[in-house]
A and B are shown apart, each in its own frame.
Chain A
């Protein structure tokens, strides 16, 4: 019952994303505009580019995650589908997890898939590529989770996007630091396991607390 409600929600979110075509291409447009434009600004030297490559790819992932947050719950609030979350047998916290999972699939997975290619374009050493992908796999769900909580909290405000960014940025700074730290360490030939371990602990913390807090925040907005 819970699984079928969650999978129904994920399937519908993906279907809507495909139908809105343009929006679902935004993450890739971000990634490649950052990758292509920044070298034009800072110069094409391989040393400089390989040093800033982890940060650039991560900033692209972060922006694509953040820009989709404004519409994470708002359309559902406006068309009345959100209040149905409290009527079925499936707990709202589980539906929050489903919604955040589809947000992650739409905004993060394209970036993760194309990150190795982008990293190659920026001369990132090949031995750092697995760590880059791993750091994105562990870190981007944290972005979706933290962003989801902020989106739920700012749902009641009319123009929530400014407040939303202010809420999200301080909370995801640790993710950015540990993730880019891991990739830089790997590029320098050192072990990245400490950084990745800290990143994983952030993910566990977020996955434990966020669904409960988010469903409580959504409920406040519905009432």
Chain B
């Protein structure tokens, strides 16, 4: 068990106002963490801060490995084909994961390798994002609403990928508000409450 990620009284502020109360958490390999809370409580902000996209306002975030972050935005170029997008991810993030076609097949997009990414449906775009996790493997996954816009088989796919990742010694932090992951590992729960004006 090695430590992947920890925060010490970390919080983030917009316009001088804290988005959420300071968070203390620690995540080891093989562990999963779920961020819960109502809309607008800062789940996405917390995950972006854990990924290193946002810098903490107070406290600190310590990452012991490279994270992968999958957010609301697709992070793909619509004018490139699915395979070209994945090939870019492999070179950009430097990964030795699955080959492009196999990753696409794994997430249920077999045969769509040459389609421009902009022609995919919302759910297919999420699946392409998941394929990115397989192309450039990272020990720490930070997934913002991974179940959004996926159908039932897509949600089961996320569960399977999570289980495999955790079994292989990876760690996951994710946010979810409707469907929760169905995995065997006991998840660490981080509850965020709405602070500031919105409360």
**Residues of chain A having any CB pair with chain B under 8 Å:** 1, 4-5, 7-9, 11-12, 15-16, 19-20, 78-81, 83-84, 86-89, 222-223
Q: Which residues of B contact A19 (CB under 8 A)?
A: 79-80
Q: Report whether B91 and A79 are in contact in the complex, using a CB–CB cutoff of 8 Å.
A: no
Interface residues on B, range: 20 to 34
Q: Report whether A12 and B53 are in contact in the complex, using a CB–CB cutoff of 8 Å.
A: no
Within the assembled complex, what's the spacing in Å between the Cα atoms of A57 and B79? 33
Q: Report whether A80 and B92 are in contact in the complex, using a CB–CB cutoff of 8 Å.
A: no
Q: Report whether B55 and A223 are in contact in the complex, using a CB–CB cutoff of 8 Å.
A: yes
Q: Which residues of B contact A15 (CB under 8 A)?
A: 80, 84
30 contacts between A and B (CB under 8 A): A1-B94, A4-B92, A5-B91, A5-B92, A5-B93, A8-B88, A8-B91, A12-B84, A12-B88, A15-B80, A16-B77, A79-B73, A80-B71, A80-B72, A80-B73, A80-B74, A81-B75, A81-B77, A83-B53, A83-B71, A83-B73, A83-B75, A84-B75, A87-B52, A87-B53, A87-B68, A88-B93, A222-B53, A222-B54, A223-B55
Q: Which residues of B contact A9 (CB under 8 A)?
A: 92
- Tell yes or no: B76 within 8 A of A by CB: yes
- Tell yes or no: B69 within 8 A of A by CB: yes
- Tell yes or no: B103 within 8 A of A by CB: no
Q: Report whether B54 and A79 are in contact in the complex, using a CB–CB cutoff of 8 Å.
A: no
Contact mask for chain B residues 53-83; partner A; CB cutoff 8 A; 1 contact, 0 none: 1110000000000111101111111111000
Within the assembled complex, what's the spacing in Å between the Cα atoms of A179 and B67? 46
Within the assembled complex, what's the spacing in Å between the Cα atoms of A7 and B54? 25
Within the assembled complex, what's the spacing in Å between the Cα atoms of A80 and B132? 14
Q: Report whether A86 and B80 are in contact in the complex, using a CB–CB cutoff of 8 Å.
A: no
Q: Report whether A89 and B94 are in contact in the complex, using a CB–CB cutoff of 8 Å.
A: yes
